[in-house]
Structure 1
């Protein structure tokens, strides 16, 4: 059995690596050509375009690796079937259950690789890519509305609801265009803080620079607004650096545990957390797609060579991979629109394709 395992693992792994390298080369070329439009801007050179393309590679690898596993495994299994090697292995005692167990073991190894790349390598490279972009552009705009965060604070006068708006970030990680609105339990505005810039520090404080604090009177009759100017202001908050980073950086820079923490923060602050909850479950379950892909590839080994050449089967594998990605994305959007249970939305595409692969495998073993 060690010889059979070595044969299958070697052929499938080499085919998967070849397909993954081909995909990554194609996407690197596309990203590099797309980045060439920015060459000539202050601080952006050919080297910056190359670096930007390289930093995007781990993210592309994470997204494409299950498809590469499917195509590579189909190619390897089809070649074994075409040369009758798999038939010889079946005659020698390689039953359907044992073949499925062998491929499941290799699929688990591919799933671990996908998890490590997606949870550690890709987020780190995406953060570096954002830093490179910020350095070349002098900062990062957060859209016309900026990034909004919510917080709560308990005071002797009662609970306070706080809304924070950040317009942009600088290359060194500072926040710019900060606006902080503090409301009482009845929704009345009590305090507005406007600051040119600020930095998130340890210990539950933000360091605000050139801040203006405006106090709204609780009794409107005969009262007036009070403004306070501060060159430096320590603003207490429970919004930590991780929460702020999750709000101002792209979702691709977050690991699985960071997505979970941020979705819990949104839930605690009574904000819409459906999108991040779906993303968390998708990221948590996505590595298991490699097991599903291996299950989809195994039935191709039981197809007779006369039922189609290797190229036709590989083309079918490409279509299967595209349909899986399409269904995965459509399910996410539908789940967000219809407010479906997040883990059900994330698990449904993989379960459907797994059931489809097992049904095809069972039918081929019994009737072919």
Structure 2
């Protein structure tokens, strides 16, 4: 890579890192503000809220990374324009396409950083944060593993393999030791739903194991008095945005095999697959915004323009995501349409700029 290419690429990287550095404390304040009402409930204190905030930050940084890249490119390259360095570069015979390639080279490194953040750091950190928060708020001993959700419920050991929503469960195992009778009672229910203040188990197979042998009974449905409530279980439902790509792929296959609607997870899957492309497209969009403004344009105006474009992109992407969920649009098309539209608009602007 030539010296000039490295210089332009580093300008984009430096501007993006500065933007992320400014966004981190801002997002931290917002997350803590949401936790204020929970501080003081059970064992949930200020230090727990701060730890939850720190563990949640990687996911939020991953989500705003493309917009931060857009603003960072405007800041980094805008600084070059303000010092007339871009004018000197173009006067030396360097074309706009060469400047774009150099900026995209810096964007490629940023895209790799975003993938590591979203696929390695954020999922593990957020899962740990949610578990710590739930334990502090409820006081229950519970854990989510690859074998489902485990909890101790009034002396019983509960394993829930699938939480469709806070009020609908599937594949539930309940183990209870009856020390007085010297027996173990193992209950399996195909499904459970929360209705009128209590759980109703369905498709029940109950086995009682004692010194005399094993006794099995089958019941169509029965009430289940449990300390686990829907509000508690909602916090452990897998948020599609918090899962890594491979986890989303496996979950989509699981839901498809079981003939369940995986639309939200498919939209999230393709959004994550195309996240690096989105990061690069934001840099590409920044070039015509920068070249189309005068050298006297202040940094504040460039940042404001980047924020407006970021808001527009967010609204557009949410619109396509809802269209995929509500009207059956292809999740791949819903994910690729917004960056494609922005890149097309940037190409048209670059063509007009010559």
* TM category, shorter: 0.7 to 0.9
Q: CA deviation at 1:71?
A: 0.6
Tell me if structure 1 keeps the 8 A contact 2:165–2:234: no
Q: Which runs of 5+ in 1 are unaligned?
A: 152-161, 168-176, 182-191, 196-210, 217-224, 228-243
**Secondary structure class of the residue paired with 1:340:** coil
User: Aligned match of 2:253 in 264, 279, 286?
Assistant: 264
Cα distance change on mapping 1:150 and 1:100 into 2, 3 Å: farther
Q: CA deviation at 1:333?
A: 0.8
Cα distance change on mapping 1:212 and 1:29 into 2, 3 Å: farther
1:49-88 aligned at under 5 Å gives the runs 49-88=49-88
Deviations 1:304-354 (A, max 9, x none): 526733322221111001111111111101111001111011111111111
Give the corresponding residue for 1:214.
218
Deviations 1:283-316 (A, max 9, x none): 2112221101110111134235267333222211
In the alignment, the residues of structure 2 paired with residue 102 and residue 137 of structure 1 have an alpha-carbon distance, to the nearest angstrom, of: 50
Q: CA deviation at 1:147?
A: 3.7
**Secondary structure class of the residue paired with 1:248:** coil
In the alignment, the residues of structure 1 paired with residue 324 and residue 165 of structure 2 have an alpha-carbon distance, to the nearest angstrom, of: 27
CA RMSD of aligned residues (A): 3.2
User: Aligned match of 1:279 in 268, 272, 275?
Assistant: 268
Deviations 1:146-193 (A, max 9, x none): 243479xxxxxxxxxx943387xxxxxxxxx79452xxxxxxxxxx24
Give the corresponding residue for 1:164.
191
Tell me if structure 1 keeps the 8 A contact 2:13–2:110: no
Q: CA deviation at 1:103?
A: 1.5
1:186-335 aligned at under 5 Å gives the runs 192-193=204-205, 213-215=217-219, 248-305=237-294, 308-335=297-324
How many residues end up aligned between the 2 structures? 297
In the alignment, the residues of structure 2 paired with residue 53 and residue 194 of structure 1 have an alpha-carbon distance, to the nearest angstrom, of: 42
In the alignment, the residues of structure 1 paired with residue 115 and residue 35 of structure 2 have an alpha-carbon distance, to the nearest angstrom, of: 28
Give the corresponding residue for 2:135.
135
Q: CA deviation at 1:251?
A: 2.7
Runs of 4+ residues deviating >4 angstroms: 139-145, 244-247
Tell me if structure 2 keeps the 8 A contact 1:70–1:297: yes
307-316 or 277-286, which deviates more: 307-316
Tell me if structure 1 keeps the 8 A contact 2:266–2:331: yes
In the alignment, the residues of structure 2 paired with residue 105 and residue 16 of structure 1 have an alpha-carbon distance, to the nearest angstrom, of: 14
Cα distance change on mapping 1:248 and 1:310 into 2, 3 Å: closer
Q: Which runs of 5+ in 2 are unaligned?
A: 143-150, 152-162, 173-188, 208-214, 223-232
In the alignment, the residues of structure 1 paired with residue 14 and residue 131 of structure 2 have an alpha-carbon distance, to the nearest angstrom, of: 35
In the alignment, the residues of structure 2 paired with residue 150 and residue 55 of structure 1 have an alpha-carbon distance, to the nearest angstrom, of: 30
Cα distance change on mapping 1:350 and 1:93 into 2, 3 Å: same
Tell me if structure 2 keeps the 8 A contact 1:23–1:64: no
Cα distance change on mapping 1:349 and 1:123 into 2, 3 Å: same
56-65 or 281-290, which deviates more: 281-290
